[in-house]
Amino acid sequence: MLFKTSFVAAAFAAVAALTAEAHVSVREPCPRYGSYAGCPAPPAGQSIDYNIRSPIGVYGSIGQPLCKHTAPVTANVPTYRAGQNINVKFDIGAAHGGGHCQFALSYDGGKRWVVIKEVLRDCLRGDINASTYTIPVKIPKKAPTGRVVFQWLWNNAVGNRELYSNCIDMQIQGTNGGKLSGKEPVIINYGPNSHHVGEFPGANDKDGRELFAPAGRKGVTFRVAPTPVA
């Protein structure tokens, strides 16, 4: 019985280790509750996420909220200027054949999102260096000043039909007042009410690209009131 129990425990540990290697997260800028060196501490009542690379859901079910963690980080958040690149660096266990990445901003705490960059099919694909893979994401030049949430979404090309997400709390220095407009993100393989896209390892496989056509997506506009100048 002892041998059997030990064998089962060892097998479970091996599966857990393999699963941990098969995921991806943003490493820099620090994602909410990230366990990476230099990341700010989670807000009161929250804990460091040591499974930060795990998906938030699959087509059949939702495991975590769209931002993975809902309570924002309020201290030691980074500041970026409108027009500046956010160099998004990843922690990659396995790239699952690449897939679709979307990067978005929210000025209302994550209730709505405006996509500012998409990388379809080729995101995390090809001969990548798992320790240095970086995607530059440019903040719109006319982005208003304010506290924002920056979001990364990724649908993998190969494997379980999953959605990955991380959110980063940050400050933008831009236009004093104004607006930011764009299209909302496309939500794929995240619960039964989302779009379903199967695996697309081959160049001719259907990858759901038509879902990203602007005509079929809802527009979102954030209007930010100007701050009075003393």
Question: Structural domain boundaries of the chain?
Answer: 44-224
> 91 and 53 in contact (C-beta within 8 Å)?
yes
Task: Provide φ and ψ at 58, rounded to 5°.
Answer: -130, 175
**Res 140: pLDDT:** 98
CA atoms within 13 A on the CB side of 227: 10
* Arch. (CATH architecture) of 44-224: Distorted Sandwich (2.70)
Give the per-residue pLDDT at 58.
96
Structure tokens at 49: 């996420």
Which DSSP category does 130 fall into? T
What residues have CB less than 8 Å from 38, skipping those under 6 apart? 30
Which value, in Å, is the radius of gyration of the alpha carbons in the chain? 19
CB 137 within 8 A of CB 123: no
What local confidence, expressed as pLDDT, does residue 9 receive?
40
pLDDT score recorded for residue 125: 87
Report pLDDT for 130.
Answer: 72
- In this prediction, residue 229 carries a pLDDT of 74
pLDDT tens for residues 20-77? 444 899 999 999 999 999 999 999 999 999 999 999 999 999 999 999 999 999 999 9
Spans of the chain below 70 pLDDT: 1-22, 127, 230
pTM of the model: 0.89
DSSP run (H or E) holding 72: none
pLDDT at 127: 67
Token pair for 143: 């982005």
The predicted structure's pLDDT at residue 14: 34
Question: What's residue 13's pLDDT?
Answer: 37
Beta-bridge partner residues of 5: none
pLDDT of residue 96: 87
Separation of alpha carbons 3 and 10, rounded Å: 10
The C-alpha torsion from 184 through 186 and 191 to 195, rounded to 10°, is: 130
